[in-house]
Structure 1
């Protein structure tokens, strides 16, 4: 099956982790993929993987928190594939400098907000007119389980991902009339290479995630559903992917 045949997907943060898994999964299902990443080498390597497997992809480099850079990424993608049908906002993430509101630096707070929340806003702002012109679209924004339940120790990240969640619901209402769907994935722990390096099998998260922590392919499979026409009546949804941690 090629569930995304004839569609073009733009994936930010596509060079590594969840973004990379989504790029490969989308391409496997027939999508042409614009692989956007801050690291040109990472984006290029993923594109090579796609092409080697018989798919179509182009790399674009830029910073989602910079308007000029976003304009250039979107324009480069459109030049390659003439439009954008799917937008997956995967760029961003927290850092070890995060913490409680009383402790974290304001520089770290604004860095996180600018990349995770403002970056998502900028990508949507620039891609939605393209989707309107094309007559439809699917936007998939990545929030976090932290935005859905109470957690400790990452208040900047929680705030940014909470903003992504709320903004996505508003966007779903705003653009439904244009047949543009906006949905949110809210993963818990995802065992990317970076995360797996410090979360060992004896970590309590394995007990709390009663089905086990997610892997990048699990997120990619959910993203595929939201990107495809199988979810044509789904918008404004917030889908948890946490191995059952939030019901533990």
Structure 2
């Protein structure tokens, strides 16, 4: 019960890494705010947590909408009176991404709006509460695509690079307030969205030999988020924790 008594917000908590993090946080004793755009997956995540004896609320949220984000943060404060952990998880690449000379400007701005602005809003709205209570932990979601080059993900790489830079800047800005700000950079993770794109291909056939230890399960990323959210990482801030099955060391 490493998060007993803590209140944690997880954006995009209805599926993929976000859902795995919600489940893990709840098992570790956290009271979880599931901030999810899709009502069905958000409700399903809430039902699973409560059925297992955990404590959670679900707030339907578009992370790129400031009013909705403020309402979600307000719900957390109204329900439990504090916010100890913020996991800005929402984001991801789409099939509409591509080379800069052909990808649409709309796709670029979508990535900036969801991945960067959504993270910005989460931090902007939660940090004042963390300052008032004497500290907290923020874990953003970036990507290995912000570290190494990749084809056909130019808009996504730009957005995740911005998230990494924002993470480091906020770590410096708010360290004296007891707020640690870190990020996780996963390699290719077998979320529902990735599996759906692959159709009938088996998980073992997805990707290539660049992932030395095999492709990554959402739960494996969630465990890294948990580490950065707990006191076990009490002196870790401004760090980008790479969980990529060896992709970036080759």
- TM-score normalised by the chain length of structure 1: 0.97
Per-residue CA deviations over 1:15-48 (Å, capped at 9, x if unaligned) read 1110000000000000000000011221111111
The runs of at least 4 aligned residues of structure 1 exceeding 2 Å deviation read 199-203
- Paired position in structure 2 for 1:81: 80
- Paired position in structure 1 for 2:68: 69
Please tell me whether residue 126 in structure 1 is matched to residue 141 in structure 2. no
Q: 1: distance between equivalents of 2:44 and 2:76?
A: 17
Q: 2: distance between equivalents of 1:93 and 1:127?
A: 22
Q: 2: distance between equivalents of 1:37 and 1:64?
A: 8
Contact 1:132 1:178 (8 Å CA) reproduced: yes
- Paired position in structure 2 for 1:175: 174
Please tell me whether residue 228 in structure 1 is matched to residue 239 in structure 2. no
SS of residue paired to 1:207: coil
Contact 1:60 1:77 (8 Å CA) reproduced: no
- Paired position in structure 2 for 1:136: 135
Q: CA deviation at 1:246?
A: 1.2
- Paired position in structure 1 for 2:154: 155
SS of residue paired to 2:138: strand
Q: CA deviation at 1:196?
A: 2.3
Please tell me whether residue 99 in structure 1 is matched to residue 98 in structure 2. yes
Structure 1 residues not aligned, in runs of 5+? none
SS of residue paired to 2:4: coil
Contact 1:172 1:181 (8 Å CA) reproduced: yes
- How many residues in Structure 1 have an aligned counterpart in Structure 2? 246
Please tell me whether residue 31 in structure 1 is matched to residue 33 in structure 2. no
Contact 1:98 1:108 (8 Å CA) reproduced: yes
- Paired position in structure 2 for 1:239: 241
- State the superposition RMSD in angstroms: 1.0
Q: CA deviation at 1:161?
A: 0.3
Structure 2 residues not aligned, in runs of 5+? none
